[in-house]
Structure 1
């Protein structure tokens, strides 16, 4: 457990090490100590830790910090995997967290609870904000793989253009990024769902700038705004209408206006959560338009009652393999969808598709997706000096770990 023995000891270590404090644990784990400092005169009587993939929202008492005697510091030590990386924050409250009210869904209840989430002021890393949710701090354990594409605090070197364009009958922002090293014509394409996150909230442009530096083919990156949760839940889960807008409207426009390639093998689509589901659906249903999909923590649990629609698993039951390729990743600490991601991986491979798959030590979290999106795109696009996209990966060649 933590070596912190007093408020004075804690203050001293936090000043030197920053938060969270990390101490040895049993093999494969470390003990992470999280600390929250109450403002002067604060009426807070309860503080809870919310850590992606680590804490269980259904058991708030297990995540409760304790106040140190004669101190404004609240602390909680938790054993976590030594490879874990994730977003976290604190829930300071006057009243304890109560169970959902009668007739309230768990998600509605939890959205209300985390509205009070605050970041860790003792953590030196930049905070992460996405999808209109409260900002979170980032925790990185000693064994967490280095994110070789993501860089904090670096300005992009390419050109970003924001356009307002009607797509699927909705006027929305579409961001187009031209990274350094992109070709003048016949450009590969990467279409990204939840584009506001990728373009503005957690901008991936600096990571994309590294593609040419490392010898990879450089795509035109097109990021589509999902507008709001309601529209997102209509368009991204296997919508034939939205897919028709991509193939019949967006792709022709990109070829005409942005010199995008007409070769489907060099047109990728990618996203996370619902976006991963949408990317997989697009590459399955329209292989003559999309030759590759990057699916990160795909919501392959969809649909559940009362939702209507055919799941990816059902669509694969009698699907013949096409030339579409799939690069998938999911979190080991995503209990609500990890098994479904493994199931889709196995079904794709059984039908003869080219699939690369990996798991990361984390939850449903942009802290991982921001790097994995570029990792997957780079793998599917292949090397610039190869003269073609990557072919099928032999089963004897292991997928490299997240790095």
Structure 2
């Protein structure tokens, strides 16, 4: 006989959500397994992938369950593990790629939903997307790099948004669709995009940990190439930079190092500090630029998940910016470190930094 919790999970397509008061939900997880199960996800910053200690209770032979509380506007990714190995959730059809070769199960709380800008609206003009291969001398890892250029369905000149990890923002965040929809709705001015692909994974810190070589790559190779193919604004500080995680702190660094070009920074879960030991971390150079460099004419949008390890350093970056006279837009969403969360924030971030002219 199938246990009631498993039947409920199968019928509801995943964990059972029950309202608690006006602000929270109680979420009951259930998984069949012959061995003890560890539940992990955004809520513990995926700690369960590393230690593997079981944290679910055996409520019947071979049935494991636990109950947790979340805010009503939560977006949560999770997985079940046995001895550090993924079990998956076969009762939840909602699955999303995690960017490292696997998928996570997920659910939205009753007050959360995917951004409406992710679906192409009927009758919305499409921008033009082209793929290019660059081989600039400024590269510090590899010899070529893919660059996607987006031309908005509007006459120029327009600001340019340089997007780090551009292949992920294009494929996983649907950035071109979001921009098409926002332009058509009159929420933002027309902008162009230069979405540069990231290098190999082992070069990520080399290129994104506040690298002047990457600043040079963007200003001396990507921007001139984009200007050859797009009709771009020449106003000082008209352009912007977008990135997530290490790309978020690198976007901030580019803005602080070249504010006369990039006067708008969108940092999503920026890694402003790097952990090196239990409870300890060190700040990256972008934090020192905020602290000690003359205040630059840069507008910041910073968002971060309330369940992230990086929440603290993003709060400190915000506080430093405010103390130095900046007026950053700051958002904490009820989620974790993932592209579905970031893409849900993009509409508001772009609206804040590229309002209609």
**Shorter-chain TM-score range:** 0.7 to 0.9
2:55 matches 1:63: yes
Per-residue deviation, residues 175-207 of structure 1 (Å, max 9, x unmatched)? 22335xx33321221111112211224433322
Residue aligning to 2:111 = 143
The answer for unaligned runs of 5 or more in structure 1 is: 1-5, 39-43, 97-112, 388-403
Matches within 5 A, 1:2-401: 7-25=2-20, 28-36=23-31, 45-54=35-44, 56-57=47-48, 60-61=52-53, 63-64=55-56, 66=58, 68-69=60-61, 74-91=64-81, 93=82, 96=83, 113=84, 116-117=85-86, 119-125=88-94, 127-144=95-112, 147-151=115-119, 157-167=126-136, 168-169=138-139, 170-179=143-152, 182-215=153-186, 216-302=188-274, 311-334=285-308, 336-383=309-356, 387=357
Aligned CA distance change for structure 1 residues 52 and 65 (closer, same or farther; 3 Å): farther
Aligned CA distance change for structure 1 residues 50 and 151 (closer, same or farther; 3 Å): farther
Aligned CA distance change for structure 1 residues 63 and 225 (closer, same or farther; 3 Å): farther
Of stretches 143-152 and 246-255 in structure 1, the one that deviates more from structure 2 is 143-152
Query: Structure 1 or 2: larger strand share?
Result: 2
Aligned CA distance change for structure 1 residues 19 and 156 (closer, same or farther; 3 Å): farther
Count of matched residue positions in the alignment of Structure 1 and Structure 2 = 347
Alpha-carbon distance in 1 for matches of 2:120, 2:110 = 18
Q: Is the 8 A contact 2:173 2:342 kept in 1?
A: no
Q: Is the 8 A contact 1:186 1:259 kept in 2?
A: yes
TM-score, normalised to structure 1, is 0.76
Offset of 1:326 from its aligned partner? 0.4
TM-score, normalised to structure 2, is 0.85
Residue aligning to 1:105 = none
Alpha-carbon distance in 1 for matches of 2:276, 2:97 = 28
Q: Is the 8 A contact 1:48 1:65 kept in 2?
A: no
Residue aligning to 1:107 = none
Alpha-carbon distance in 2 for matches of 1:84, 1:19 = 15
Residue 176 of structure 1 aligns to a residue whose secondary structure is strand
Q: CA RMSD in A?
A: 3.1
The answer for unaligned runs of 5 or more in structure 2 is: none
Per-residue deviation, residues 368-395 of structure 1 (Å, max 9, x unmatched)? 1112234212210102xxx3xxxxxxxx
Offset of 1:322 from its aligned partner? 2.2
Residue 354 of structure 1 aligns to a residue whose secondary structure is coil
Aligned CA distance change for structure 1 residues 302 and 48 (closer, same or farther; 3 Å): closer
